[in-house]
A and B are shown apart, each in its own frame.
Chain A
């Protein structure tokens, strides 16, 4: 798909064979974990989950382009694939879906991955603040840390997204706005959500470059994201990447897509599966063989089993933590409530 505005940063060169194989391995691990999480919900291991089936290429490709020594990720609640790609501890990540702790148990500062966020569009502004902070630090252009903020076609309706794009463009903050346009905001299709049909198309109004990319092509996503990151890192300000993809599954484990789309529509609109596409490509180019795919599958299964065991072993956090993390300097009133809770709940 076409660039809406040309980016002047330099993108990523051709990916090496091992990088292409790694992209496939990551997508497969993510696919496996995602499908398992739905089963875990049906089995009662976790109370809920927001699947990202079909968005593996968009998530893995964009995450793969990041430089995690200096960039920072601002996710929503459907970025498991990004989290896995950039190395967030997956048991600690999934703990939010086990209802152990809002935001997840991972250390967002060390992981450079902000807490999982339920307010649609809310964290897009945080990315702008964080990114502006990088320019205030006096880091030279070319070495700037970039904030990448993930959101969807639904969130693009939020006023905060407009404010974020405007602030970032006015301040030339190093932000990449990464939209996964997956066709559906729960039950509302993109055409009833995004006027003009494209979030990337809005970028021109802010004087920002943008790329609309085939979000089911992991290589194209990696390169588009790398190009946008290079633009921001060089001190040229923000950029938009809109990955056109498809949410093949339900919005969440509580959703019933049968109420708003038919299976036939899903098959037609979903297009080719991003994993199958990459597999075909790797085979055609002689980059991978059947042995590689078997090995990748075995690795994904082993990883999934390990994560399942970790989640299974997660007990509830001590109730004291309800009180411990409200403030850095807790109030007397809160301390009194904590001690009353201890006594009255016989946790003395």
Chain B
């Protein structure tokens, strides 16, 4: 099934299992969301549990805080990543802090779905990579699925947590299909930590969201030259799975981290730091970053120049492989 279907199915199951779960946002009801992730859910669960709000993101998040205080599990959607900005005050000052401020008496089980990242040639603010901003906020957790199976399991898991989770959906992957294990053997699966999606021994490519698929393509190409690349899907951007990261890099002794967001103070810096702390003794080269640039996310025509492409990732790999200690 597609990632869109997998997310839709996960939401339906969460709503069935938890009568206190609610879906709210702009156009999530009758329309089923502009990406159709909530398609059919209002019909299935009623207008009380799946409802359209006025067009105001701060209102959606502020209202979610109050609903959580009243014992609900809100699953709000902001329509596009760039529209999380008007809600930042509520996300940082309220969603991220209410549990702390109330000494654990008012938990914030809010699962905020954010269609994220670029790759669909959308207008301004319809493609942004906000993971570092969210990951920097105490009290929040951040996760991003790379494919349909991850999307299904991570959303089901995130939407049953007692802490707020920012769920960053790679919108360019919504229509990609893949097997999803919804069987009985998948029940109880806890998708915590990272996941090795391709094993290798020469270098670890660390990525999340839409960049995982691209890194797998890169690994295929590199394999033709005899370079065996391990691809690690980080999945959780907060908390980062430091053990999983270190285990992979301890084996390959080289790492390149790939993300769409601007380079400066991006999450790649955090990943590189964790690797340095844990693997310094065995690293054969400094950790390389292949990222977006320190520019506003560009218009569609320039997206291919901005988002790390196969060539740029291969160059990054080459720099690491050719590194010699001075």
Interface residues of A (CB under 8 A from B): 72, 101-103, 105, 107-110, 114-115, 119, 122-134, 136-137, 147, 159-160, 163-164, 166-167, 170, 321, 324-329, 331-334
Q: Closest CB of chain A to B92's CB: distance in Å?
A: 10
CB-nearest residue of chain B relative to A108?
B102
Known: A103-B101, A325-B104, A328-B163. A122 touches B90 (CB 8 A): yes
Q: Is the CB of A131 within 8 A of B66?
A: yes
Q: Closest CB of chain B to A69's CB: distance in Å?
A: 15
Which positions 220-249 of chain B face chain A at CB distance < 8 Å?
238-240, 242
Interface centre among B58, B74, B103, by most chain A C-beta atoms within 10 angstroms, is B103
Q: Is the CB of A327 within 8 A of B99?
A: yes
Q: Is the CB of A163 within 8 A of B62?
A: yes
Q: Closest CB of chain A to B90's CB: distance in Å?
A: 7
CB-CB under 8 A from A119, the residues of chain B are 89, 93-94
Whether B287 sits at the interface, judged by CB under 8 Å, is no
Known: A101-B103, A130-B67, A133-B66. A125 touches B163 (CB 8 A): no
Known: A166-B56, A327-B139. A133 touches B70 (CB 8 A): yes
Question: In the complex the two chains form, what is the Cα distance from A326 to B99 in whole Å?
Answer: 6
CB-CB under 8 A from A166, the residues of chain B are 54, 56, 59
Known: A160-B58, A325-B104, A326-B139. A129 touches B89 (CB 8 A): no
Residue in A108, A122, A164 whose CB lies within 8 Å of B94: A122
Q: Is the CB of B105 within 8 A of A109?
A: yes
Q: Is the CB of B139 within 8 A of A129?
A: no
Known: A114-B69, A125-B90. A329 touches B162 (CB 8 A): yes
Q: Closest CB of chain B to A86's CB: distance in Å?
A: 16
Q: Mark each residue of chain B from 132 to 160: 1 if its CB lies under 8 Å from any CB of chain A, else 0.
A: 00000011010000000000000000000
Closest 9 CB pairs between A and B? A129-B66, A125-B62, A133-B70, A163-B59, A331-B239, A103-B101, A129-B63, A328-B162, A130-B66
CB-CB under 8 A from B100, the residues of chain A are 102, 325-326
Whether B12 sits at the interface, judged by CB under 8 Å, is no
Question: In the complex the two chains form, what is the Cα distance from A105 to B62 in whole Å?
Answer: 23
Known: A329-B161, A329-B163. A115 touches B66 (CB 8 A): no
CB-CB under 8 A from B106, the residues of chain A are 108-109, 114-115
Q: Closest CB of chain B to A95's CB: distance in Å?
A: 11
Q: Closest CB of chain B to A338's CB: distance in Å?
A: 13
Known: A329-B161, A331-B141. A115 touches B101 (CB 8 A): yes
Interface centre among B54, B105, B107, by most chain A C-beta atoms within 10 angstroms, is B105
Q: Is the CB of B58 within 8 A of A125?
A: yes
Question: In the complex the two chains form, what is the Cα distance from A125 to B58 in whole Å?
Answer: 8
Residue in A102, A164, A332 whose CB lies within 8 Å of B62: A164
Q: Is the CB of A133 within 8 A of B104?
A: no
Residue in B69, B141, B238, B242 whose CB lies within 8 Å of A130: B69
Question: In the complex the two chains form, what is the Cα distance from A132 to B60 in whole Å?
Answer: 12
CB-CB under 8 A from B242, the residues of chain A are 332-333
Question: In the complex the two chains form, what is the Cα distance from A163 to B64 in whole Å?
Answer: 13
Whether B15 sits at the interface, judged by CB under 8 Å, is no
CB-CB under 8 A from A332, the residues of chain B are 239, 242
Chain B contact residues (Cβ within 8 angstroms of A): what range? 35 or more
Whether B321 sits at the interface, judged by CB under 8 Å, is no
Q: Closest CB of chain A to B211's CB: distance in Å?
A: 23
Whether B22 sits at the interface, judged by CB under 8 Å, is yes
Whether B269 sits at the interface, judged by CB under 8 Å, is no
Q: Is the CB of B54 within 8 A of A122?
A: no
Can you spell out 29 A-B residue pairs with CB atoms less than 8 angstroms apart?
A: A103-B103, A105-B103, A108-B102, A108-B105, A109-B102, A114-B69, A122-B89, A122-B90, A122-B93, A125-B58, A128-B63, A129-B63, A130-B66, A132-B66, A136-B49, A136-B72, A147-B66, A160-B58, A160-B62, A166-B56, A167-B53, A167-B54, A327-B141, A328-B99, A328-B163, A329-B162, A331-B141, A331-B238, A334-B239
CB-nearest residue of chain A relative to B56?
A163
Q: Mark each residue of chain B from 250 to 277: 1 if its CB lies under 8 Å from any CB of chain A, else 0.
A: 0000000000000000000000000000
CB-CB under 8 A from A123, the residues of chain B are 94
Q: A119-B93, A331-B141, A332-B239 are in contact. List 6 more A-B contacts (CB 8 A).
A: A125-B58, A125-B59, A133-B66, A134-B70, A136-B72, A333-B239
Q: Is the CB of B104 within 8 A of A328?
A: yes
Q: Closest CB of chain B to A89's CB: distance in Å?
A: 13
CB-CB under 8 A from A115, the residues of chain B are 98, 101-102, 106
Interface centre among B63, B72, B239, by most chain A C-beta atoms within 10 angstroms, is B63
Known: A129-B66, A329-B163. A160 touches B22 (CB 8 A): no
Question: In the complex the two chains form, what is the Cα distance from A136 to B103 in whole Å?
Answer: 27
CB-nearest residue of chain A relative to B104?
A325
CB-nearest residue of chain B relative to A160?
B58
CB-CB under 8 A from B99, the residues of chain A are 325-328
Q: Closest CB of chain A to B234's CB: distance in Å?
A: 14
CB-CB under 8 A from A127, the residues of chain B are 66
Whether B186 sits at the interface, judged by CB under 8 Å, is no
Question: In the complex the two chains form, what is the Cα distance from A110 to B163 in whole Å?
Answer: 21
Q: Mark each residue of chain B from 185 to 210: 1 if its CB lies under 8 Å from any CB of chain A, else 0.
A: 00000000000000000000000000
Whether B65 sits at the interface, judged by CB under 8 Å, is yes
Whether B302 sits at the interface, judged by CB under 8 Å, is no
Whether B48 sits at the interface, judged by CB under 8 Å, is yes
CB-nearest residue of chain B relative to A328?
B162
Question: In the complex the two chains form, what is the Cα distance from A243 to B239 in whole Å?
Answer: 47
Q: Is the CB of B240 within 8 A of A136?
A: no
Question: In the complex the two chains form, what is the Cα distance from A124 to B56 in whole Å?
Answer: 14
CB-CB under 8 A from A333, the residues of chain B are 239-240, 242
Known: A115-B106, A160-B59, A164-B59. A129 touches B162 (CB 8 A): no
Whether B71 sits at the interface, judged by CB under 8 Å, is yes
CB-nearest residue of chain B relative to A336?
B242
Interface centre among A110, A126, A130, by most chain B C-beta atoms within 10 angstroms, is A126
Known: A103-B101, A122-B94, A325-B103. A159 touches B58 (CB 8 A): yes
CB-CB under 8 A from A72, the residues of chain B are 69
CB-CB under 8 A from A126, the residues of chain B are 62-63, 65-66, 69, 94
CB-CB under 8 A from B90, the residues of chain A are 122, 125, 160
